[in-house]
Structure 1
């Protein structure tokens, strides 16, 4: 089973430098504007609330744009990722912007080996993270182990309904498992969603879906109190090419560009936000 780590890591090591150069990640804007925040963090800023002074950790932080954004909102941030190449980009971005962020190389399930157990006020997980983990129960164990009593989890991710759809069919049709299963979905992709011109050597990835009920129940079983669960009609990436349009979504203090269904926008949820507190 652990072979998925080496397979996925090889792919993400290639994605990292491509994403650092991609217009969609906009790394140069963080260096040019000390107040710039990622669209992902801006989208959820009202739901996220005040994070100033909190000791936070961003799991599966990739190249660190959301991590830096949380730092700019006043949190004392750490980042964790299993890709050395991603962390190199994240550290470079933090150093070039004068941000005091410590980064740690580890897969999620080994996070408690490199991070302080019970030492965090906030665990943050961003878009496109949970699908790379085979077990949502093990993820919930890690989150519970990292948070101090009273600490909180905040996650926005792709909705499992979205991940079950086959965008190559018209109309959109469920094809892939909605619920978690032991066997991964195996994908072959020459490039990356962030840069259509990129071509990689390591093109195979393994992923899993996790039903929304499975994710929430995993947290409830560990004593978490769910404080927020919101399903959204938009996503920050073109998750269903050919079926979506880019639109401005109103958020606290302005708007952010997000992708919505071109037709019948109320048909399905595309992403969700969940927040929970460890008593």
Structure 2
């Protein structure tokens, strides 16, 4: 086993811990405090697909600082948030308290979620954008999701498209270049990025990260193997942040799509699956 494979969780934890103070500022948390009806852009984008979650037990895996988690609670769900970063959860807990929301937050890796939370507890497992790329074993992830769900429970996933993760920023002539793996590679791909995805001053204290791309076929096959039945898969030409610099433009919903001929790129997708 390579040192990169062995250390990826520690490397990524340091990276995400170093993002927390920048995200606490850049996520505009004051807007959630000021408006009790405000939902995160990610949850609002999929609200019709998500449907009525009032009274349901929902767990949000890899919840980070909890804006999507709070949004699910505002839609009437009983929500638990799980993340491996205690600094991120400290912000999430403070935000929930300031907004009067009762949300349980648990510090754990995804793979330890069943031990941390209990089996067959949840009606919905929710996962937001930019989560699966930090996990090396998608079959283990799918098995964890299945174990968390009650019989008949549902997975709801909005994620960056694996084709998007494979692209470099557009060249000066505007052409898109496939630079990174579409398929999972052993050990992942090492990135050194001094800035996170929200504007901020200074550099990240821990700029290294290791990510793993997972093709749609790999993800869907893992869900089938975990006895999760695919019920919906919708691809979108937009994402809720700008991953490609000047090659993208923001729309009226706050989503980003290609500036020129956005129909060329599936940038994200929403997937749903049911247990059993």
Same fold, judged at TM 0.5 (above): yes
Pick which of 194-203 and 130-139 moved more.
194-203
Match of 1:268 among 248, 265, 270: 265
Partner of 1:199: 203
- More helix by proportion, 1 or 2? 2
Mapped partners of 2:256, 2:160: distance in 1: 12
Partners in 2 of 1:269 and 1:198 — Cα distance? 32
Answer yes or no: is the 8 Å Cα contact 2:142–2:226 preserved in 1: yes
Instruction: Give, in angstroms, the shift of residue 258 of structure 1.
Output: 0.6
Stretches of structure 1 that go unaligned for 5 or more consecutive residues are 249-255
Map of 2:111 onto structure 1:
109
Partner of 1:277: 274
> Helix, strand or coil for the counterpart of 1:234?
coil
The CA deviation at 1:196 is 3.9
Equivalent residues of 1:18, 1:198 under 8 A apart: no
Question: Could you tell me which residue of structure 2 aligns to residue 15 of structure 1?
Answer: 19
Aligned to 1:235: 239
Is residue 122 from structure 1 mapped to residue 120 from structure 2 by the alignment? no
Aligned length: 270
Q: Conserved in 2, the CA contact under 8 Å of 1:192 and 1:198? A: no
1:49-87: CA deviation from partner (whole Å, max 9, x where unpaired): 111111010000000000000000011000000001100
1:168 shift after superposition: 4.8
Q: Give the structure 2 partner of residue 252 of structure 1.
A: none
SS in 2 for 1:118: coil
* Cα distance, 1:17 vs structure 2: 1.6
Residue 190 (1) aligns with residue 190 (2): no
- Residues 204-226 of structure 1, C-alpha deviations (whole Å, 9 max, x = no match): 00001000111111101222111
List per-residue Cα deviations over 1:162-197 (Å, max 9, x = no partner). Answer: 011111534111121111122211000112111242
SS in 2 for 1:238: coil
The 3-state SS of whatever aligns with 1:213 is helix
What secondary structure, in the 3-state scheme, does the structure 2 residue paired with 1:149 have? strand
Which deviates further from its counterpart, 214-223 or 82-91?
Answer: 214-223
Show CA shifts across 1:207-261 (max 9, x none).
010001111111012221111100001110001111000112xxxxxxx211010
Secondary structure of 2:249's counterpart equals strand
The match for 2:77 is 75
1:116: how far off? 1.3
Matched, 1:222 2:226: yes
- Counterpart contact for 1:135–1:180, Cα < 8 Å: no
Could you tell me how far apart the structure 2 residues matched to 1:203 and 1:257 are?
Answer: 26
For residues 138-178 of structure 1, the C-alpha deviation after alignment (integer angstroms, 9 at most, x for no partner) is 11011011001010000001000001111153411112111
Q: Is the partner of 2:262 in helix, strand or coil?
A: coil
1-structure distance, mates of 2:17, 2:179: 29
Question: In the alignment, which residue of structure 2 is the partner of 1:175?
Answer: 179
* Distance in 1 of aligned mates of 2:209 and 2:248: 24
2:170 and 2:247 in contact (8 A); partners too: no
